[in-house]
Amino acid sequence: MKSEYVLPWFKGEGYHCPHCGVFAHQHWYDVTLEDDSEKGTSIAGAVLSVSTCEKCSNFALWIDGNIIYPVSGKAPLPLEDMPGEIKKEFLEARSILDASPRSATALLRSALEKLISHLGEKEDVIDNIENLKNRGLDAKFQQALHSVRMIGEEAVNPGQIDPGDDEDTALILFNLTNLIVDTLITQPRMVDEILEKLPGSKKK
C-alpha cells in the first residue's frame, strides 16, 4: 500500500504542509529582489519562491526549487518496510526537527540503534554491524555510522542529547535509516518476489 503522505514539492498545488501536517492547497509566489537604491539593479539568477499553506497560512521558502524553510520539509518519510517501533520514532523525530534538531537527532540515534539490533540479532552494536556487513551491507555504512557518532570514540548514546548536533546531522540520520531499511529489508524482499515468479522456481 502506498503512503498517502505527500512531501512538499516545488510549485506543488497541494501536499502535506510541513507546518500543520494537513494536506492543503498551496499558494505560490516568486520573489523578485530589487535594489532599494536608485540604481535599479537586481540579483541575477536568484530564484526565490514562497509557498503559503491555505490551511494554516504559514509560509515556506524555496531556493532554486528546493525547500530551505522549514527544515522538516527536507526530511524524508520513513520507507514502508521500516519496522513499526522504529517508524514511530522516525516520525516523531520529523515532527520535532524544526523546534529541536538535537532532540530529533537523539530520537533518530535511538531508532537507528533499534534497527541495527533488530536486523543484526546481536547484543553489541559493533557485532551487529559486522553481522550486517556479512549480509550485504556496504562497508561504507560503518564509516557513515562513525561520522554520525553512532560508533567509535566520539559515539553518543542513543537518546542522549548532544549539543553538537544540528539539522545536518539529523538529515543524515533520516537518510541513513532509510538506506539501511532499503538495503536489508526492501531489496531482499523484492528479489525474493522476483525469484518466486521465475518458472524455474516452481515447487517440485
The span of 19-27, 73-81, 169-177, 192-200 binding Zn ion (CB under 5 A) equals 19-27
Q: Note the Cα 196 to chain centre separation in Å.
A: 32
The answer to whether residue 17 forms part of the interface with Zn ion (CB under 5 A) is yes
Instruction: Determine which residue in the list 19, 94, 102, 109 makes contact with Zn ion, applying CB under 5 A.
Output: 19
Contact status: 88 vs Zn ion (CB under 5 A)? no
Cβ proximity to Zn ion, 55 vs 122, nearer residue: 55
In whole angstroms, the minimum distance from the beta carbon of 23 to Zn ion comes to: 9
Cα(24)–Cα(103) distance, integer angstroms: 27
Cell numbers at residue 50, please?
514562497
126 in contact with Zn ion (CB under 5 A): no
Taking the CA of residue 164 as centre, how many other CA atoms within 13 Å lie in the half-sphere pointing to its CB? 6
Report the nearest approach of Zn ion to the CB of residue 28 (Å).
14
Please tell me the distance from the alpha carbon of residue 107 to that of residue 188, in angstroms, as a whole number. 27
For the CB of residue 57, give the shortest distance to Zn ion in the complex, in Å. 7
The contact pattern for Zn ion, residues 50-79, with x = CB under 5 A and - = no contact, is ---x-xx-----------------------
**Residue 164 neighbours by CB distance under 10 Å:** 10
Q: Is 20 in the site for Zn ion (CB under 5 A)?
A: yes
Cβ neighbors of 72 (< 8 A, separation 6 or more) are 18, 94, 95, 97, 98
Per CB under 5 A, does 6 bind Zn ion? no
Q: Are strands 59-63 and 48-53 parallel, antiparallel or unpaired?
A: antiparallel
Min CB(24)–Zn ion separation in Å: 5
Closest by Cα among 9, 10, 8 to 21: 8
Using the contact rule CB under 5 A, the part of the chain among 10-18, 26-34, 65-73, 116-124 near Zn ion is 10-18
State whether residue 69 is helix, strand or coil. strand
Q: Which chain residues interact with Zn ion by CB under 5 A?
A: 17, 19-20, 53, 55-56
